[in-house]
Amino acid sequence: MTPLALIMIIIAYLLGSISSAVLICRLKGLPDPRKYGSHNPGATNVYRLGGKGAAGLVLLCDILKGMLPVWGGYFLEINPLLLGIIAISACLGHMYPLFFHFKGGKGVATALGALAPIGLDLTGMLFGSWVITILVTGYSSLASMLTALLAPLFTWFVKPQYTLPVAMLSCLIVLKHHENIRRFFAGEEKKIWQRKRD
């Protein structure tokens, strides 16, 4: 591993550690997303707590956290495997943020941003899969997990050299959803439009 790649991995983690959900909720006077709703500091929970505007800002910031370091690594000609590690590092920062007591979100939007530099075709397929699953089922968590599972297959069709790092990232996303899986089978998982403040 080159020093440049190591620096990019560290930058990706630190950037990922900036919890946009917590900061935007503070700016808008909303409840702390780590303590209310699903207790997850992500766009879906912020939507339940504060509506579309706040959730949209969180979604945009979380996407950029993954996109910027990976795009930077891409332009610096870092090899595909290390680019994958940079993407994973950004998502780990989001999931276990250094600046917020290591209590973060699921990393879905950050992962989408990290995969965007691979190509607009891949981004479109991933976003399309997520939207279709949401429209059919109403479950954000199910849409996220299904999209994560499809991501390596889509990547193999688009740019096969990125399949392994994308598969690693997908495993991380699914593992982070273990509580959602438990709630889903227990019949306790809430649909995206169910808003709750307690």
Q: What is the pLDDT of residues 178-192, one digit of tens each?
A: 888 998 888 888 887
Mean pLDDT of the 190-198 span: 60
pLDDT-derived band at 29 (thresholds 50, 70, 90) equals very high
Mean pLDDT of the 10-26 span: 95
The confidence score (pLDDT) of residue 20 equals 93
DSSP track, 38-102: TS--SHHHHHHHH-HHHHHHHHHHHHHHHHHHHHHHHHTT--HHHHHHHHHHHHHHHHS-GGGTT
Question: Taking Cα atoms as reference points, which of 105, 96, 2 lies closest to residue 63?
Answer: 105
Q: What is the pTM of this model?
A: 0.85
Percentage above 70 pLDDT, the chain: 97
- Dist. CA 31–CA 50, nearest whole Å: 9
For 114-146, what is each residue's pLDDT tens digit? 998 888 899 999 999 999 999 999 888 899 999
- Residue of higher predicted confidence among 14 and 140: 14
DSSP track, 16-28: HTS-HHHHHHHHT
The confidence score (pLDDT) of residue 198 equals 39
Question: Taking Cα atoms as reference points, which of 37, 23, 31 lies closest to residue 65?
Answer: 23
Specify the length of the chain in residues: 198
Residue 111 and residue 150 in contact, taking contact as beta carbons nearer than 8 Å: no
- Dist. CA 114–CA 94, nearest whole Å: 12
- Residue of higher predicted confidence among 187 and 154: 154
The confidence score (pLDDT) of residue 19 equals 93
The confidence score (pLDDT) of residue 110 equals 94
Longest dimension (CA), the chain: 48
Mean pLDDT of the 37-57 span: 87
Is the sign of the CA dihedral 28, 17, 147, 74 positive or negative? positive
Q: Over 90: is that where the pLDDT of 62 sits? A: yes
The confidence score (pLDDT) of residue 152 equals 95
Exposure string for 12-50, b = 16+ CB within 10 A, e = fewer: bbbbbbbbbbbbbbeeeebbebbebbbebbbbbbbbbbb
